[in-house]
Amino acid sequence: MRPEAAALLLVFVMLLALIIPPADAAGPPEHANASSRAVEAVKEALNRGPADAPGQNKDTDAEEERTESAAPMPGIWAAVLVLVLLAGGSAILLRRLKKREPDACRTVVSRPPGFPPELADRYDRAAFIGRGGLGEVFSARRRDDGQVVAVKVPLARDEVTGRAFMNEMRFLEDLKHPNILAVHSVNILPVPFVEMEYLPRTLNDLDKPLPPETAARIAAGIAAGLAFAHEKGVVHLDIKPGNILLADDLTPKIADWGMGRMVETGSDTGVTGYTLAYAAPEQIAPGRYGRPDARTDIYQTGAVFYELVTGRPPFADANLAGLAEAILNDQPLPPPAFDRIILRCLEKDPANRYQSATELLDAILAAMKGAAET
């Protein structure tokens, strides 16, 4: 029993002992325990008036009556005191309980690290892959058919995080394209989660630089996936090697659309979520170059293309401020292949880049065809 509860119980017992008269006026029975006899003794002492004190004479019956009527009722006042103590103890207990309420709420709202146990009847062999701004991704095997898939779940179960997570995923089911990571299902129950295609490799896992034709084929696939998404009104805004997954035949598939947004909503979800090494100038200085849009994806595709043929990003600086300054003001060294296409993608002013992913795709395919004919 907690100390607060024990104290309250003791006070309550004392209160009952003081206000409830004994069943036998002659005193407690012989078999009563010591505590009962002590309580009776206290009651007797409290109720003894001044006339009962040793050595005091009683002159007349009238004087005795006046003394008894003038004497206070100690038993009643003791009961009042006990009630006050009881109320105070209750208040202290309530305050302590209220202090515990936030911790209890956090226990309900927050999800501990690891694969949600509510999904254990659907998946087994879950393994952590990575974590984003709103969710965690696990590889897991479906119990019904044994297929290995990727499962993305929100970091927490509070309403705000859950709503943001579902908003992030709401448009992914419509983005069905060979160069976009496939989403199998978006679910709310038993917990919010998204089941996706599982691919273990990204562009980060390739040894670079790549042969120019291989690099161009991957860049063309990225452009094709972006062209489809842009037609659906969705921009990505965080194209980088880690977000390009690879099939066994090196077909690129764009993943992690969490930084993206619907173009028509005007949402700013992707403005501050970029990766600096691949960020477009308008993501760093929107006041100078305008708000990020579909042409931001074109710049970032050019930055990835540049790394595929050179082995490094177009700009590098150990100091973040220096890196941002270089992106805004410096010109990258020309790459050894497909330089005209890549450098146009990397124009500072979005108006000087390819104006659509389809235009970029056509340029890459034409260059690949020309290279094959020579």
Domain boundaries, the chain: 3-109, 117-196, 201-373
Q: Where does 249-318 have alpha helices with state H?
A: 281-284, 286-289, 294-310
**Nearest CA to 63 among 47, 75, 50, 44?**
50
Average pLDDT over residues 214-235: 97
* pLDDT over threshold 70, residue 183: yes
State pLDDT tens for residues 7-25.
555 555 555 555 555 544 4
Average pLDDT over residues 100-112: 39
8 A C-beta contact, residue 196 and residue 182: yes
Region class of 53: left (phi > 0), else alpha (psi between -120 and 50), else beta: beta
CB-based contacts of 301, cutoff 8 Å, min separation 6: 219, 222, 223, 226, 239, 345, 357, 360
For 117-196, CATH number out of 3.30.200.20, 3.90.1150.10, 3.30.450.20, 3.40.50.880 equals 3.30.200.20
pLDDT of residue 257: 83
Beta bridge partners of 261: 235
* pLDDT over threshold 70, residue 112: no
pLDDT of residue 167: 74
Which residues are known to be catalytic?
A: 238
Average pLDDT over residues 317-343: 95
8 A C-beta contact, residue 66 and residue 58: no
The CATH code of the domain at 201-373 is 1.10.510.10
State pLDDT tens for residues 261-276.
655 444 444 445 678 9
* CA distances for 328 relative to 22, 207, 290, angstroms: 92, 28, 13
Q: How many CB atoms lie within 10 A of CB 243?
A: 25
Both tokens assigned to 117: 């146990």
Helix (H) / strand (E) containing 126? strand 123-131
Residue with more model confidence, 272 or 245? 245
The sheet with strand 183-187 has its strands ordered as 123-131, 135-142, 148-154, 193-196, 183-187
